[in-house]
Structure 1
Amino acid sequence: MSQQQKTFRRIVTGHDDKGNAVIVSDAPPVHTQLVGGPGGPTFFEIWHTNETPALIMAQPGDRDEEGLMLPPPGNGTRLRMIEFPPEGEEIRKLTVADAVAKFRSMGEAEASTSSSSAPHPLMHKTKTVDYGIVLEGEITLVLDKDETTLSAGDIVIQNGTNHAWANRSGKICRMVFILIDGAAE
């Protein structure tokens, strides 16, 4: 099955030297990465902040990062879109070592909570509060003891929970995530 990625623009605003609001850039996201090879999700890294409160800069630009990073920077935020292709047998047959390797490729091997008794091989947990918004398609949120299917327009607020995403629909699912660095109480 051929799945074509839709393109989208990332418009960044700022200010000119007179303080007028202007468009600083208008282009597709600079950082895009396919995770885990063919059949894996594509991450579109849209923006991140390194601090809270976020710095409001006159001419904001991309901040350098080495490769894909799963969580936001400490005390920061991250905005990304992920295209989840339909889940195939290659995902369901992942070993614990395979799952850890996939999270290592996102800069956070320790996020993997995969085990032989886990409800999904790509279970993981981060110290973040995440807002996930389904733009297109449907996807199943898998938790330790529950699961629910989300459709376009649905929003999930994830509070540092152990989870995985399973696209059982047969079509691409596109989600936007806002990740906020967190701390356990």
Structure 2
Amino acid sequence: MNKIPRRIVTGIKDGKSIILEDRQTENVVEHLPGLIISDIWNTHKMPASLDFETKIPNTGFPQTPKNGTYFRYVVIPPDKDLGVEFKAGEPHPMMHQTATLDYIIILSGELYLIMEEGETLLKPGDIVIQRGTNHAWSNRSDEPCIQLAILIDAGD
């Protein structure tokens, strides 16, 4: 399983900022073979509180808190390793929609962003702004793709 470091710099000692935590994240789950998700951090209101962390359950599809945010690290394996079959003319089996504004950054590998009409190939350094529409991810390569996603509750 991936080792994902998490450093929290929110401590104060003698009036100066300190690193409060520097360790591997504990919230890492392999939801399907090779599909590794770590829900790193979340907030439950806007503006965000800096005082505490609320532990969140790790789910296959994110459950962004109302008026909150969700920060997740995702490893998406090749489709063939997941057993995903995408048939032309049919919706992708992993198509989903969240009521969020998502900022997604591809760190490594490559991945297709599939919409109800059309798709585009994403490579390291690419950024996606996903605004609450149906979408799916398809990794047609032989290597895993790593992405970071920040989801912001978009309300109604």
Structure-1-length-normalised TM-score: 0.76
Instruction: Measure how far apart 1:8 and its partner are.
Output: 3.0
For this pair of structures, how many residues does the alignment match?
A: 153
Q: Mark the CA change 1:139 to 1:50 in structure 2 (over 3 Å): closer, same or farther.
A: same
Q: State which of 15, 21, 27 in structure 2 corresponds to 1:25.
A: 21
Report if the CA contact (8 A) 2:4-2:24 is conserved: yes
Report if the CA contact (8 A) 1:71-1:128 is conserved: no
Q: State which of 63, 74, 81 in structure 1 corresponds to 2:66.
A: 74
Contiguous gaps of at least 5 residues in structure 1: 94-115
Contiguous gaps of at least 5 residues in structure 2: none
Q: Looking at secondary structure, tell me which structure has more strand per residue.
A: 2
What is the correspondence of 1:143-182 to structure 2 with a 5 Å cutoff?
143-182=115-154
Q: Mark the CA change 1:20 to 1:8 in structure 2 (over 3 Å): closer, same or farther.
A: same
Q: Looking at secondary structure, tell me which structure has more helix per residue.
A: 1
**Percent identity of the aligned residues?**
36
Instruction: Measure how far apart 1:129 and its partner are.
Output: 0.4
Instruction: Measure how far apart 1:17 and its partner are.
Output: 4.9
Instruction: Measure how far apart 1:33 and its partner are.
Output: 0.8
What's the counterpart of residue 39 of structure 2? 45
What's the counterpart of residue 117 of structure 1? 90
Structure-2-length-normalised TM-score: 0.89
Q: What is the RMSD computed on CA atoms of the aligned residues?
A: 2.0
What is the correspondence of 1:70-109 to structure 2 with a 5 Å cutoff?
70-88=62-80, 90-92=83-85
Q: Match of 1:90, as an amino acid? A: G
